């Protein structure tokens, strides 16, 4: 067979698969979002954005992402640097740190619910230490700060490892000689991290951040388990339009708004962390 | 003044002893080459001087100051790495200025110094580029410029030319030698390439299995190798060796020929002669030509003498055919003798 055509023939099955199961449903969703049944309309978007819960859920989603992702980034960088410096047992530590990745987000939410619940570990511990007389209802509407904190903690616990794995692989690609050169020319360990590791890690940072930020805008199960209706987020609202209110056009419009936000942030991340031509390793 | 003294330096990696009791003094502004095959410990010694490795024992002094406990940046050194280690995310300007920025020098001083060394290394037109846009030779120049910009007491170079092609290497060799002589820094240069060592060094330290076998000027190392290893390592083709048996009163019998030699009470000696110090003559060693290689400038003849391999570099006008018997006379004042037991030279 003609060698020029062969690659395209080989990717044809997966292209077809993607078209049938991803592109086509996506077009259908977009169609639903922009129609009232027969005509083109922006009415669905007007409906959802004018609802009183929309600004709150948008704010909550963005706030959560803004609180969680930087902490995860810092933690993942710290953990990745530690792991790469280890001589022995590096793989075991990496496996243990990535265990939360194997747990579904709903299960992760339930684990943290077991900690913060009225009859949970935290209450038992505090009462055991004599700090409180009776169990507190921490995850109630009276404590929005604690609800937020619990959700953020659960997310950090659950999803930092995905960034860690990407960053460990990225750090492994940086030749040792750059660090030696930086050391000889007077860079302290902190300066080497700032001036060598971080800039050379930009491609991995891009991947890790894009992935993490998109997942942060899609947060749903952890919030459902810990906050219920106390802490509305965009994905939760999409779910309730679709299944509680049975308004699939509004749900489709919500989905597109989340997609637009994700694309927007992805473009920003790619732009900010771009590597100039000729400047890659 | 940046005299370097290496005192009793040893290094082991676990059970493996990479360096044994190294003692070496390198004079101020001297160009010292550490020469040896891979795994001989030359790079380890350089990295100990740089502070990238810690010696298991011994001391390193630079300019009368003990520095082996200091971090690399406080040793007054700069280094050129084998793979250049030109930072890919910084422009050529920022690469050269990296060390100066780390010292927090004012901007105009950084610019002044970077531009000066860039001109010196002929890369002033590349200052805005990234290393991905440079050729190997240009990257090499950036690496050297970055070291020179530090105005260090000592420049350490770890096989800096080994990744360049042959022609470029020859060009850079001469240029590097000139630039370093002008900069008046002491230089330690690690290489496995004897041509590089011979052509650039003020002094060569030949290393073998973690020891310095001989440290002397290039011509001394070439003419008067202190041990069999040096004799066989330096020179291309290497020195010829033949077994010699005593013939009494300072005379030795080599392949049936009796020659003047040292008055040494040994059962055997090794007779050694460089291939270019051999001429065809009426009287001499009987050699059977095996392979004849006309190399243009001269004729390289590989023969067999007394059952051993023996190479002679002869005049290119000579006609020699394989299988022919030649009579070859070694130039008497160029003959050297080695003790096969200690492998050391015998005078």
Domains and CATH numbers, chain A: 52-272 (1.10.3720.10)
For B17-30, what is the mean pLDDT?
94
List the single residue in B with minimal CA-CA distance to A189: B71
Residue B77 or residue B164, greater confidence: B77
Q: Does B210 touch chain A (CB under 8 A)?
A: no
Beta-sheet strand order (sheet of B269-273): B257-260, B251-254, B240-246, B269-273, B336-338, B345-346
- A55-59, A275-279, B85-89: the lowest-pLDDT one: A275-279
For the CA atoms of B220, B222, B226, B227, the dihedral, rounded to the nearest 10 degrees, stands at: 170
B173-210 CB burial, b ≥16 within 10 A, e <16: beebbebbeebebbbbbbbbbbebbbebbbbbbbbbeb
Residue B166 backbone phi and psi in degrees, to 5: -55, -45
Q: So what's the pLDDT on residue B159?
A: 92
Q: Are B145 and B139 in contact (CB under 8 A)?
A: no
Residue of A nearest to B49 (CA): A184
> Which residue shows structure tokens 């020469």?
B35
Quick check: A278 and B132 CB within 8 A?
Answer: yes
Mean pLDDT computed over every residue of chain B? 92
What is the average pLDDT across B122-134? 92
Q: Which residues of A touch B43 (CB under 8 A)?
A: none
> In this structure, how many other beta carbons lie within 10 angstroms of the beta carbon of residue B264?
13
Q: Is the pLDDT of residue A1 over 80?
A: no
**pLDDT tens sequence across A229-259:** 888 899 998 999 899 898 888 999 999 999 9
Nearest to B89 among A177, A277, A279 (CB): A279
User: Considering CB atoms only, which of A181, A183, A278 is closest to B133?
Assistant: A278
Tokens for B143, please give them: 């690496």
Burial class (CB in 10 A: 0-12, 13-18, 19+), A85: exposed
Report CB contact under 8 Å: B51, A180: no
For residue range A160-203, what is the model confidence (pLDDT) as tens digits?
999 999 999 999 999 999 999 999 999 999 999 999 999 999 99
* Partner-chain contact B146 A280, CB within 8 Å: no
- What ipTM describes this predicted complex? 0.86
* Residue A139 predicted with pLDDT over 90: no
pLDDT, tens digit (0-9, with 9 covering 90-100), for B220-244: 999 999 999 999 999 888 999 999 9
Is B133 at the interface with chain A, CB within 8 A?
yes
Distance spanning both ends of chain A, measured CA to CA: 37
Residue among A173, A175, A176, A181 with most chain B CBs within 10 A, to mutate: A181
**pLDDT one-digit tens code per residue, A90-124:** 889 999 998 888 888 899 999 999 898 888 888 88
Domain boundaries, chain B: 4-226, 237-346
Residue (of A112, A56, A101) closest to A211 by Cα position = A101
> Could you tell me how far CA A55 lies from the centroid of its own chain?
20
Enter the tokens of residue A211.
């992935």
Q: Contact A178/B85, CB-based, under 8 Å?
A: yes
Give percent of chain B with pLDDT exceeding 70: 100
- Whether B81 and A182 lie within 8 Å, measured CB to CB: no
Contact A185 B102 (CB under 8 A): yes
Among B71, B76, B85, B157, most A C-beta atoms within 10 A, so best to mutate, is B85
Residues in A lying within 8 Å of B, measured between beta carbons = 175, 177-178, 180-187, 191, 195-196, 199-200, 202, 275-281
pLDDT number for residue A16: 95
**How far is it, in rounded angstroms, from Cα A133 to Cα B64?**
72
pLDDT value at residue B123: 92
Rounded to an integer, the average pLDDT of A36-42 is 84
Which chain B residue has its CA at the smallest distance from A192's CA?
A: B102
**Window from A136-145, B99-108, B151-160, B320-329 with minimum mean pLDDT:** A136-145
Residue B58: band (very low, low, confident or very high) from pLDDT cuts 50, 70, 90? very high
pLDDT digits (tens, 9 = 90+) for B97-115: 999 999 999 999 999 999 9
Q: Taking CB atoms and an 8 Å limit, are A186 and B103 in contact across chains?
A: yes
Least confident window among A135-144, B44-53, B80-89: A135-144
B4-226: CATH superfamily: P-loop containing nucleotide triphosphate hydrolases (3.40.50.300)
Mutate to test the interface with A, among B73, B86, B89 (most CBs of A within 10 A): B89
Mutate to test the interface with A, among B87, B130, B163 (most CBs of A within 10 A): B87
Report the percent of chain A where pLDDT is more than 70: 100
Flag if A184 and B73 touch (Cβ within 8 Å): yes
| pLDDT per position as a tens digit, B168-208 | 888 889 899 999 988 889 999 999 999 999 999 999 999 99
pLDDT at A3: 81
Overall average pLDDT of the B38-57 stretch: 94
Nearest to B87 by CA among B78, B79, B96: B96
Q: Name the residue of chain A whose CA is nearest to B149's CA.
A: A185
The CA distance from B188 to B185, in Å, is 10
Within the 13-72 window of chain B, which residues sit less than 8 Å (CB to CB) from chain A? 50-52, 71-72
Mean pLDDT of chain A: 90
Contact B150 A185 (CB under 8 A): yes
Query: Is the predicted pLDDT of residue B1 greater than 70, yes or no?
Result: no
Mutate to test the interface with B, among A184, A192, A200, A275 (most CBs of B within 10 A): A184
Q: How confident is the model at residue A226 (pLDDT cuts 50, 70, 90)?
A: confident
Neighbouring CB atoms inside 10 A of B67's CB total: 20
Q: Which residue has the higher pLDDT, A127 or B51?
A: B51
Q: Which residues in B lie closer than 8 A to residue A192 (C-beta atoms)?
A: none
* pLDDT tens for each residue of B72-83: 999 999 999 999
Kindly state the percentage of chain B with pLDDT values over 90.
76
CATH fold of the domain at B237-346: OB fold (Dihydrolipoamide Acetyltransferase, E2P) (2.40.50)
């Amino acid at each position: 067979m003609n060698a020029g055509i062969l690659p395209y023939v080989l990717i044809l099955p997966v292209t077809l698969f993607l078209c049938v199961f991803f592109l086509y449903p996506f077009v259908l969703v977009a169609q639903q979002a922009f129609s009232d049944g027969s005509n083109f309309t922006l009415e669905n978007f007007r409906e959802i954005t004018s609802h009183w819960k929309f600004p709150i859920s948008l704010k909550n989603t963005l706030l959560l992402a803004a609180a969680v992702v930087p902490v995860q980034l810092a933690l993942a960088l710290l953990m990745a640097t530690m792991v790469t410096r280890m001589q022995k047992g590096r793989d075991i530590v990496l496996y243990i740190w990535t265990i939360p990745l194997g747990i579904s987000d709903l299960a992760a939410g339930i684990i943290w619910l077991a900690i913060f619940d009225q009859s949970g570990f935290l209450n038992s511990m505090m009462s055991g230490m004599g700090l409180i007389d009776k169990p507190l209802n921490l995850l109630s509407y009276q404590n929005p700060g604690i609800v937020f904190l619990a959700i953020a903690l659960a997310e950090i616990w659950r999803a930092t490892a995905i960034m860690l794995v990407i960053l460990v692989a990225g750090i492994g690609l940086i030749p040792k000689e750059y660090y030696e050169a930086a050391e000889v020319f007077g860079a302290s360990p902190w300066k080497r991290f700032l001036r060598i590791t971080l800039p050379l890690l930009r491609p991995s940072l891009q991947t890790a951040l894009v992935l993490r930020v998109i997942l942060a805008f899609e947060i749903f199960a952890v919030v459902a388990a810990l906050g219920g209706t106390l802490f509305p987020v965009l994905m939760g609202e999409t779910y309730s339009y679709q299944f509680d209110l049975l308004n699939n056009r509004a749900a489709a419009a919500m989905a597109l708004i989340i997609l637009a936000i994700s694309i927007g942030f992805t473009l920003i991340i790619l732009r900010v962390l771009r590597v100039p031509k000729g400047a890659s390793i | 003044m940046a005299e370097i003294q290496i005192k009793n330096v040893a290094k082991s990696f676990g059970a493996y002893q990479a360096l044994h009791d190294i003692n070496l003094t390198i004079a101020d502004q001297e160009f010292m080459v550490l020469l040896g095959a891979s795994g001989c410990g030359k790079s380890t010694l350089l990295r100990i001087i740089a502070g990238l490795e810690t010696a298991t024992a011994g001391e390193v002094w630079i300019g009368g100051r003990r520095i082996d406990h200091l971090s690399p940046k406080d040793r007054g050194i700069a280094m050129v790495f084998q793979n250049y280690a030109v930072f890919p995310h910084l422009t050529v300007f920022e690469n050269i200025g990296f060390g100066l920025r780390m010292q927090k020098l004012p901007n105009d001083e950084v610019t002044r110094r970077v531009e000066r060394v860039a001109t010196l290394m002929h890369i002033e037109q590349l200052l805005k580029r990234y290393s991905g846009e440079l050729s190997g030779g240009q990257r090499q120049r950036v690496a050297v410029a970055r070291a020179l910009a530090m105005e260090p007491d000592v420049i350490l170079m770890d096989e800096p030319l080994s990744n360049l092609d042959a022609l470029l290497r020859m060009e850079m060799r001469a240029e590097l030698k000139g630039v370093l002589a002008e900069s008046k820094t002491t230089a330690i240069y690690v290489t496995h390439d004897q041509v590089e060592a011979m052509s650039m060094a003020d002094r060569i330290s030949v290393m073998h299995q973690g020891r310095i076998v001989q440290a002397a000027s290039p011509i001394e190392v070439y003419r008067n190798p202190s041990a069999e290893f040096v004799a066989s390592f330096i020179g291309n083709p290497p020195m010829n060796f033949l077994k010699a048996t005593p013939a009494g009163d300072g005379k030795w019998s080599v392949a049936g020929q009796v020659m003047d030699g040292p008055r040494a009470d040994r059962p055997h000696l090794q007779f050694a002669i460089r291939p270019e110090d051999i001429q065809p003559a009426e009287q001499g060693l009987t050699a059977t030509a095996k392979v004849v290689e006309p190399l243009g400038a001269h004729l390289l003849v590989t023969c067999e003498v007394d059952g051993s391999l023996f190479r002679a570099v002869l005049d290119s006008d000579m006609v020699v055919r394989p299988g022919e018997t030649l009579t070859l006379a070694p130039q008497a004042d160029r003959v050297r003798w080695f003790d096969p037991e200690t492998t050391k030279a015998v005078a």
